[in-house]
Amino acid sequence: MNTLTIPPSRIAQYWALTKPRVTQLAVFCAVIGMFLATPDLPNWKILVAATVGIWLLAGAAFAVNCLVEREIDSRMARTARRPMARGELTVPQTLAFSGVIGGMGMWVLYNFVNPLTMWLTFATFVGYAVIYTMILKPATPQNIVIGGLSGAMPPALGWAAVANDVPMQAWILVLIIFVWTPPHFWALALYRRDDYAKSGLPMLPVTHGLKFTQFQILLYTIALVATTVLPFAVRMSGLIYLASALTLGAVFLWHAWRLYRHYSDLVARKTFAYSIIYLSLLFVALLVDHYLYF
């Protein structure tokens, strides 16, 4: 029986280019950074403008990523439905879209936030769209580690938006996401290893095997739990955050241990899913503790 396939609208295709679910998590971390940058509530005008500007530039970076990796995406089941992989958008259309929303983001940040936030966000755009996507990702299985800095920047961007400065506390938040990224992404790469083998990208499970990747996830998760203690150690947060970080970290360690000792694709999926919940709840705990601590 034939079924009628309704093509997605042009708006939906451009929206998909921005990888909205990934963008939402990045912007969420940036917003938490805005609140943590001040003992009071941040100025709502700066909060809105910074959120919009960071969102636009993040979307522009992901659009470039979709453009560069369109052939790779077409060979992977997870990404084959992306607009560029399906040929629904042309290269000029995607470049124009990325340029327009990226330019709008820079304009908003420069005029309604501050130049520091604009330049830091633009540097993050270059780090992800050019250094990670075009250079590191196809060159080394450590791509997600080295290139993880660009994905870890949102809290610093949010902090800069409110304080016009990026102090040590902001870089601690960046470090947490930087250490979180490898176990998060490698859990996905484990159960999508056949996809990555088809893509030709040198992802760790493909180049070094499952067991090595599982061990690396365990090591990075241990390092992550240790890193999340830093906000308490430097008196940036109090006992509420510390208890939350240790509890959430213990669950993450349990997932990583199961992944190492009793691997299955289902365990890898659950580890990946929990890693997203983990980061979200960790930053919520920072926010709650921030206002109760102060």
pLDDT band of 139, cuts 50, 70, 90: confident
**Side chain identity, residue 46:** I
Q: Are 224 and 180 in contact (CB under 8 A)?
A: yes
The residue-averaged pLDDT of 211-227 equals: 97
Task: Please determine, for residue 52, whether its predicted confidence score (pLDDT) is greater than 70.
Answer: yes
* pLDDT > 70 fraction of the chain, expressed in percent and rounded: 97
| pLDDT, tens only, 57-110 | 999 999 999 999 888 888 888 888 888 888 888 999 999 999 999 999 999 999
Task: Please determine, for residue 5, whether its predicted confidence score (pLDDT) is greater than 70.
Answer: no
* pLDDT > 90 fraction of the chain, expressed in percent and rounded: 73
Cβ count within 10 A of residue 65: 24
pLDDT band of 2, cuts 50, 70, 90: very low
Per-residue model confidence (pLDDT) at position 1: 40
At 109, list the tokens: 């940040």
Q: Are 154 and 26 in contact (CB under 8 A)?
A: yes
| Mean residue pLDDT across the chain | 92
| pLDDT, tens only, 141-191 | 888 888 788 889 999 999 999 999 999 999 999 999 999 999 999 999 999
Per-residue model confidence (pLDDT) at position 270: 97
Output the CATH code of domain 9-166: 1.10.357.140
pLDDT band of 293, cuts 50, 70, 90: low
Q: Which own/partner contact pairs does 79-83 have at CB distance under 8 Å and 24+ positions apart?
A: 82/16, 82/17, 83/8, 83/13, 83/14, 83/16, 83/17
Give the side-chain half-sphere CA count within 13 A for 1.
Answer: 1
pTM of the model: 0.92
